[in-house]
């Protein structure tokens, strides 16, 4: 799977170029044969716009005047009295962030794009404090209480098993205080969303938010690669109550677009796997026939991509760069994801 990183960097980082004839062929085929033209058009546009010198996959920019100017422009935009999110990815903050967000501005942008932070600068502090307190009230109401509903008791048992296994190779997520935060987030969410409850894989979706919001206080390199002793020292003064609350609300906002991934029989995931099969058949019929002949089903290698949104596939700096674009898509994110998931085949 690590080899996939280089291929994704070809698409999203601009270091290498895919053969233009192949891209044009794919684009022409899909304009004729797929109902998802808008999503496919965005992917090909993304590939073609990813020229050398544009923002790298980890969200950091090469040291050029152009990128410095773009980052400054984004920061000035965030400080406006009223930030326009944009109704689509062609305008407003969505358009400015779609190609990647500087790490220093990512926490603020994610909060805005996911509706956790008010677009009105005068209301931001008040609204943020209110939502953080609202989350604390939920914790008091739902966490650590005796459960009188069997499915919820079972969910809590699974959560308690899954949390210690979350990002086991990253020291930050093995800190007991951080694991307690993740447990509370998942228990509260499950209680407040009985249609799906807790489903394994949701614990992974908490990771990028905890990472991004903690990066306001701890260097990303320490969060993603630091040794346990260094991480413990750095995390000592973290405002984990605020990070936890912000993570909960943004996690909830993300799941609102893909809740059908986690209801009975996971119809959202089933639909996406069908679309990915159709996409593979169109783009690479020889590979499609080879897999079919050998009875290799997409569920064997695509399910985890979709269920965990690539969290288990890539390093955190690379992952959050993917998520910049997903979050900018809003309601269009599930369709776009179908076209991003297949690249390891190509």
Residue range 140-169, pLDDT digits in tens: 998 877 676 788 888 899 999 999 999 999
Average pLDDT over the chain, rounded to an integer: 81
Is 105 or 31 the better-scoring residue by pLDDT?
A: 105
pLDDT per residue as tens digits for the range 229-242: 999 999 998 999 99
Locus of tokens 């064997």: 300
Which long-range contacts (C-beta less than 8 Å, at least 24 apart) are formed by 58-63? 58/103, 58/317, 58/318, 58/320, 58/321, 59/100, 59/101, 59/102, 59/103, 59/106, 59/317, 59/320, 59/321, 59/324, 60/102, 60/103, 61/100, 61/102
Residue 160, strand partner residues: none
User: Residue 217 in contact with residue 238, Cβ under 8 Å?
Assistant: yes
188 pLDDT exceeds 90? Answer: yes
Q: What is the pLDDT of residue 263?
A: 82
Nearest CA to 194 out of 151, 159, 161, 156 is that of 151
98 pLDDT exceeds 50? Answer: yes
Mean pLDDT of 322-337: 87
Nearest CA to 281 out of 265, 266, 298, 264 is that of 298
- The answer to whether the pTM exceeds 0.75 is yes
CA-to-CA dists, residue 72 to 63, 102, 303, angstroms: 13, 10, 39
User: Residue 171 in contact with residue 226, Cβ under 8 Å?
Assistant: yes
46 pLDDT exceeds 80? Answer: no
Which long-range contacts (C-beta less than 8 Å, at least 24 apart) are formed by 327-330? 327/97, 327/110, 327/113, 327/114, 327/254, 328/89, 328/94, 328/95, 328/97, 328/98, 328/113, 329/89, 329/94, 329/98, 330/94, 330/113, 330/257
3-class secondary-structure state, position 82: strand
> How many C-beta neighbours within 10 Å does residue 301 have?
14
Give the angle subtended at the CA of 92 by the CAs of 88 and 98, to the nearest 5°.
65
Give the alpha-carbon dihedral of 201, 262, 214, 333, to 10 degrees.
Answer: 120
């Amino acid at each position: 799977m690590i080899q996939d990183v280089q291929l994704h960097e070809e698409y999203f980082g601009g270091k290498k170029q895919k053969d233009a004839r192949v891209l044009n062929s794919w684009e022409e085929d899909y304009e004729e044969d797929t109902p998802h033209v808008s999503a496919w058009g965005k992917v090909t546009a993304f590939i073609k716009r990813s020229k050398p010198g544009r923002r790298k996959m980890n969200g950091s920019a090469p040291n050029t005047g152009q990128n410095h100017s773009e980052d400054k422009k984004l920061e000035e935009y965030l400080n406006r009295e009223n930030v326009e999110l944009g109704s689509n990815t062609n305008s407003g903050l969505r358009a400015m962030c779609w190609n990647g967000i500087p790490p220093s501005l990512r926490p603020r942008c994610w909060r805005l794009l996911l509706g956790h932070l008010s677009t009105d600068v005068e209301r931001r502090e008040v609204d943020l404090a209110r939502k953080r307190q609202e989350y604390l009230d939920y914790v008091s109401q739902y966490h650590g209480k005796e459960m009188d509903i069997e499915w919820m008791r079972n969910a809590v048992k699974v959560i308690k098993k899954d949390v210690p296994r979350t990002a086991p190779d990253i020291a930050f997520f093995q800190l007991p205080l951080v694991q307690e935060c993740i447990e509370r987030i998942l228990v509260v969410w499950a209680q407040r969303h009985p249609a799906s409850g807790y489903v394994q894989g949701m614990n992974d979706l908490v990771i990028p938010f905890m990472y991004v919001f903690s990066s306001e206080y701890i260097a990303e390199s320490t969060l993603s690669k630091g040794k346990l002793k260094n991480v413990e020292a750095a995390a000592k003064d973290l405002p984990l109550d605020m990070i936890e609350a912000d993570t909960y609300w943004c996690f909830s906002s993300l799941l609102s677009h893909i809740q059908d991934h986690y209801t009975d029989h996971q119809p959202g995931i089933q639909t996406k796997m069908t679309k990915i099969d159709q996409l593979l058949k169109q783009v690479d019929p020889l590979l499609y026939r080879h897999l079919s002949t050998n009875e290799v089903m997409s569920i064997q290698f695509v399910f985890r991509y979709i269920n965990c949104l690539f969290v288990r596939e890539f390093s955190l700096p690379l992952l959050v760069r993917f998520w910049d674009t997903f979050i900018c898509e809003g309601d269009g994110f599930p369709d776009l994801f179908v076209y991003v998931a297949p690249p390891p085949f190509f």
